[in-house]
Amino acid sequence: MNSKWIFFVGLLFIFFLLPFPLHASSQQMYQDYLYQTNVYRDKYNEFSIAKNEYLKFETLTSETTAIVKTREMMAQRARLLQAYLLFLKARLNESTVNEKDKSMFQTLIDNNIKFLENHTSLIESIATIKDAEKANQDMERQYGAMSVAIRQIIIGLTESRLEELEQEYSSIMMAAQILMEEAKQELPTDRHILLDRWFQRISNKRSLFLQKLQIIQEGRKTLENSRDIHQRFEEVVSVGIQARQEFQEGIANMKELMSVMKYKDYFYE
């Protein structure tokens, strides 16, 4: 048995989603994914022990045990991947992703779930090491396309959520600007300059947020053609986290500005 004949699906996806709130349905799916992850970790450890025992002794008993543990591990690996895809599907149904992209993403998920169901049926018929190697090769080939699809969906979900935040940002900025113009009527001219400067800083935060949102939008379009898909994905996710930080800082600054305008005597020395 080749010691590298089974590839390891580690906890690749647990850090993929940005920390946006989960609704009830996706929360349940996420908990199932975490449960399946723990079971997979145990099954993989059992498989590793059985594989090493067989490589060391090469007895009929150790071979039989290795094949049984391989089947169990591969079946659980498929359940883990399926659980994650179902979690993504639930998040997608809760999201504001546009209908065209949502339909495309749902098709990608359904196609991969169908593959996993067929793959699980094939696993049940594994009787030899060669059978296991062949089934694993099929999984490896599919896993490349599956991981690209998952990354595209996650970026799409992130993009959609940030677009929601942009609408919120714009709405609050509009309200702040109205309050600012009203406040100016009761403030001396030198305080107008201070208000304008503060508002410009907030506007600059929004500009940085929009720049990062644009990078994410472009990143999803170019992900599949990137030389290093994983690295490109990590870069896009990092930009998404930065965009959320810009949003949070901008909102905090706007709330501070609106509070100052509410209590106008704060401006006076």
Low-confidence ranges of the chain (pLDDT < 50): 1, 3-4, 8-15, 18, 269
Q: What is the dihedral of CA 9, 235, 219, 143, to 10 degrees?
A: -10
Kindly tell me the burial class for residue 236, based on how many C-beta atoms sit within 10 Å of its own C-beta (0-12, 13-18, 19 or more): buried
Position 23 scores a pLDDT of 82
In the numeric block, which tokens belong to residue 165? Answer: 């935040």
Query: What number of CA atoms fall less than 13 Å from residue 145's CA on the CB side?
Result: 11
Position 6 scores a pLDDT of 58
Position 186 scores a pLDDT of 83
Q: How far apart are CA 194 and CA 64, in angstroms?
A: 78
Helix, strand, coil shares of the chain, percent, nearest 5, are 85, 0, 15
Position 195 scores a pLDDT of 87
pTM score of the predicted model: 0.86
Position 100 scores a pLDDT of 96
Residues sharing a CB contact under 8 Å with residue 91, sequence separation 6 or more, in sequence order: 17, 22, 26, 29, 157
- What are residue 231's phi and psi, to 5 degrees? -65, -45
Closest alpha carbon to 40 in 7, 78, 66, 67: 78
Residue with tokens 């706007």: 254
